[in-house]
Amino acid sequence: MQLSVQLSTQQRIAAFLSALLLAVLLNSIPLVASDETGYTFRSSANEVRLAFAASDRQGRVIKELHPSDVAVADNGAIIRHFKSFRPASESTLDLVILLDASDSLESQIPAEIADVKKFISDSAWGERDRVSILAFGGLKSMLICARSCNAQTTPIKLSTLRASGATPLYDALVEAAQILEQSHDAEARPAMILFSDGMDTISMHSMSEAVLAAENLQAAIYCVNARSKKSAQDRGDAVLDQLAGNTGGLSFPPGQNVASVLQAVLEDLHGGYVLTYDLPGQTAGQHSVRILPTRDPRLQFRSRLAYDANQ
């Protein structure tokens, strides 16, 4: 009788260990939902994806770039062989437009709204491109539309927007990153267009947190300086330059033709490139990254300056 009890206990322990081992094995396999097969393998966490823009010294977009024309400096390691290399025009665009609707830009809001309406209606969007609009002012942001801002109701919603309150700039950028993350597509090109004077007055998040959120998504921030051209320069101008510079975007000074600026942004996004490579040395943590020319030193590149290998 005692022997049968011992065997039963051993069997229960063995069954428990087998179930535990099976759970560990299943949880170690990265799976994501798939419409066709139920599940499919996703890209390895050890693969780095880098989107970048290429131009000459006059700022003209380089339309024919080959893998042998570039190298990547990743934490000091030089990467010359890539797993993939393709034009960004082959990727779906996932864009969030941020409108600073705080008191400091009350006089600029009507013009911004008109420019954004025209941009959405006149631009040549791809069938799968997604556009969201986020307005911020006061204590919280307002999502005008999510991923389908070319709908007929968008102009009506924009027309009701009024400026008020303080400026939660960095919080809005973090929220924009969350919007992009919710609709995350490994093949999409995420980006933000920010209309602001760069003066944050109330955010819970810091500038470094906002930059990190964009960097980890590879979302370039394109900054349109919305302060009046007649007003004096202030630290907000430098903030916008830094947001764009750290994420691979562009910063446009006040007084520009906004319609031309927005079309330039769209051309820049479609004119870039996306490459992937294996994480060098399997090193976790923050990585600095830079695109380098291998043949023509006159080439200039823009990309995010860092990424977190733990993401």
pLDDT in tens, 104-123: 999 999 999 999 999 998 88
Average pLDDT of the residues in 240-261: 95
Q: How confident is the model at residue 45 (pLDDT cuts 50, 70, 90)?
A: low
CA distance 132 to 194: 12
Q: In this model, does residue 34 exceed pLDDT 60?
A: no
CA distance 248 to 306: 10
Burial of residue 29 (CB within 10 Å: 0-12, 13-18, 19+) is: exposed
Q: Extract the tokens encoding 117.
A: 């309406």
CATH architecture of 48-311: 3-Layer(aba) Sandwich (3.40)
Residue 91, classed as helix, strand or coil, is coil
Residue with more model confidence, 31 or 80: 80
Q: Which of 21-30, 80-89, 96-105 is predicted with the least confidence, judged by mean pLDDT?
A: 21-30
* CB-CB contact of 243 with 251 (8 Å): yes
Q: In this model, does residue 44 exceed pLDDT 50?
A: no
Q: For the chain, what is the mean pLDDT?
A: 84
Q: Which bin fits 281, alpha (ψ -120 to 50), beta or left (φ > 0)?
A: left
* CB-CB contact of 136 with 102 (8 Å): yes
Q: What percent of the chain has pLDDT above 70?
A: 84
Average pLDDT of the residues in 35-51: 54
Backbone angles phi and psi of 90, in degrees to 5: -85, -5
- Res 311: pLDDT: 62
Q: Extract the tokens encoding 282.
A: 């399997």
Q: In this model, does residue 5 exceed pLDDT 60?
A: no
Q: Extract the tokens encoding 120.
A: 């959405």
